[in-house]
Amino acid sequence: MELNPKISQAIQALRERTYFSAYPENPKAYSEESHDAGKTAFQKQLSNPFLGLDETGATGKFGEEVSPYMLVGLGVEYPVFTADYLVEQSQSAQNQWKKISPLERANILIEMLDKVSERFFELAYATMHTTGQSFVMSFQASGPHANDRALESVALGYEELTRYPQQLDWVKNMGKFDLTIKKNFKPVAKGVGLVIGCSTFPTWNTVPGVFANLIAGNSCIIKPHPKSVLPIAIVVEEMQKVLSAHGFSTKLVQLAADSSANPITKHLAEHSSVKLIDYTGGSDFGRYIESLPGKTVFTEKAGVNSVILDGAADAKAVFGNLAFAASLYSGQMCTAPQNIFVSKDGINTPEGNMSFDDVVASLRGALKGLAENPKMGAGTLGAVQNDITRKRVEDALSGTGAISNDAVVENTEFTDARTLAPSIVVVDAADDRWKHECFGPILFVVRTSGKEESLALAAHLASTVGAITCSCYSTDVAYMQSVEEVMNEQAFTPVSFNFTGAAFVNQHAAFSDFHVTGGNPSGNATFTDSLYINRRFVWVGNRFA
């Protein structure tokens, strides 16, 4: 059996950290027929039970998803299982899977991804109407980008699992004779894996852990957020089809759908047979997951991302870039900026000093201009996923310093869409409101005593609360070096310097950018480094005289 060439290409890209994508991200790279078929498939699924999964052992059906664009329920119901049944079946299915070689597992997993790619457009509409992402973002995030991240896990997993020889004759010269010992080395899977998904990125944040578990020989239970099930259900359907075609139990990958009123997450997480847990979501529940004894845990929790605004070679380009980064999917990305640290004396530009008030006014103008742009506004902002996020923003705007954005977001296709244009709250450094996550379309402009305090505040916040990204705009080379050193070495946070044009802090590229460092409270794991794979299995060596 030969290794699928996608894996070899991905391994090379991982080593070189260069651009690579196995699945085109532009919807126009695919046929119009596939687009139409995907849209039709999504529409046919509405108000009907989801029938693509193995329902053996189900105790009923349930669904509660609501479209953020139409503000009506999707009417899709999914099979529901007890936690004990899911774990029992998962253990049984793993017994067969873990016995095949990493090569066989890798090829089967790539076949799954190729099958998923045939449903990218259906996935796009499913993601759009469960998360509120725009169509293009939904297509990319739940389709090609998610597939690439999954492929990244498979490729790195294959490389780690084949790092050492399977067996050898170990020979040590003892003078008058040789001591020969036969040895074998086995990567042994840890057991049942649980992957807990989030409501905003139901596949992108989920499939890396799923495919990392599977390449290592583990089985996997996927617990989606009850408000965003359909996208990952489509993925699981295709995975189960491939498993069945190759003679493996479909229970190797199971969807653990539940309800907001009767969640089963804790029952699964605390089950003694669940050995691995991947989690994406809020910090409070994330800390609970990390506290569970006897589990190997991979978390991506909440963080507060900072922008250090010291100077700009092109102020208009900088404000345009910041406005887009803050507006993309209405700020509902874990990489989106929240706090912008600006000296009370303003920023340096080629035209001279720009005052603090002018910085705020320019940023507000850029946000408003984007939101009201008929070609970009609705497509960039998408919709707010839930009313909790909407209320959080409204509460933030009820305090002092709030500059509500009165922009009118016009979505001609979905007039009932839950939309909010990003707004600004101006605060002093001593204020506490910016020191915790305010998830959604809100920006805090923090007035500092100078650029030194801006850096100190950003670093302290990342170290104590957590951060996934940081942006820095400056024309001072020495200062940028200080920002890189402090944010990297004290806060374990990557920095994006002077991004304008088509480069945005939100975007992390598979095979090149590490997503989350694991070094601050925003999470303990990285998409995708060797620890993300190696902690899912153990090496065992046997010796024979």
- Strands 496-497 and 470-473 come out as parallel
Q: What per-residue confidence (pLDDT) applies to 302?
A: 87
Q: Is the pLDDT of residue 20 over 90?
A: yes
Q: Quickly list DSSP for 334-351.
A: TT---EEEEETT-EEETT
User: Between these two residues, 80 and 408, which has the higher pLDDT value?
Assistant: 80
367 pLDDT band (50/70/90 cuts)?
Answer: very high
217 pLDDT band (50/70/90 cuts)?
Answer: very high
Q: What per-residue confidence (pLDDT) applies to 149?
A: 98
- DSSP code of 376? T
Tell me what the mean pLDDT of segment 239-260 comes to.
98
Q: What per-residue confidence (pLDDT) applies to 29?
A: 95
Q: What per-residue confidence (pLDDT) applies to 500?
A: 96
Q: Is the pLDDT of residue 39 over 90?
A: yes
Tell me what the mean pLDDT of segment 425-437 comes to.
94
SS3 40: helix
User: How far apart, in whole angstroms, are the C-alpha atoms of residue 83 and residue 89?
Assistant: 10
Q: Is the pLDDT of residue 404 over 80?
A: no
- Contacts (Cβ under 8 Å, ≥6 apart) of 44: none
Q: Is the pLDDT of residue 364 over 80?
A: yes
CA torsion sign for 461, 463, 466, 472 is positive
β-bridge mates for residue 417, sequence order: none
Q: What per-residue confidence (pLDDT) applies to 46?
A: 98
Q: What per-residue confidence (pLDDT) applies to 98?
A: 97
Tell me what the mean pLDDT of segment 434-442 comes to.
93
Q: What per-residue confidence (pLDDT) applies to 485?
A: 98
The crossing angle, in degrees rounded to 10, of helices 102-117 and 207-215 is 150
Cite the DSSP H helix spans in 98-217: 102-117, 120-131, 135-142, 144-161, 207-215
Q: Is the pLDDT of residue 177 over 80?
A: yes
b/e sequence 275-289, b meaning 16+ C-beta within 10 Å: bbbbbbbebebbeeb
pLDDT tens digits, 455-467:
999 999 999 999 9
Both structure tokens of 73: 């329920």
Average pLDDT, the chain: 96
pLDDT tens digits, 475-488:
999 999 999 999 99
397 pLDDT band (50/70/90 cuts)?
Answer: confident
SS3 24: coil
Tell me what the mean pLDDT of segment 132-155 comes to.
97
Query: Does residue 469 have a cis bond before it (omega within 30 degrees)?
Result: no
pLDDT tens digits, 94-127:
999 999 999 999 999 999 999 999 999 999 999 9
470 pLDDT band (50/70/90 cuts)?
Answer: very high
Q: Is the pLDDT of residue 1 over 90?
A: no
Domains and CATH numbers, the chain: 5-13+26-301+525-544 (3.40.605.10), 306-497 (3.40.309.10)
Q: Which amino acid belongs to residue 183? A: K
Percent of the chain with pLDDT over 70: 100
Percent of the chain with pLDDT over 90: 95
Q: What per-residue confidence (pLDDT) applies to 104?
A: 98
Which of 262, 266, 255, 299 shows the shortest CA–CA distance to 76? 255
- How many residues are given for the chain? 545
Tell me what the mean pLDDT of segment 21-43 comes to.
95
5 pLDDT band (50/70/90 cuts)?
Answer: very high
393 pLDDT band (50/70/90 cuts)?
Answer: confident
Tell me what the mean pLDDT of segment 219-238 comes to.
98
Q: Is the pLDDT of residue 528 over 90?
A: yes
Q: Is the pLDDT of residue 185 over 80?
A: yes
CA dihedral 15, 17, 18, 20 (to 10 degrees): 80
Phi/psi of residue 523, each to 5°? 165, 160
Q: What per-residue confidence (pLDDT) applies to 407?
A: 85
Sheet holding 219-223, edge to edge: 253-255, 219-223, 192-196, 274-280, 296-300
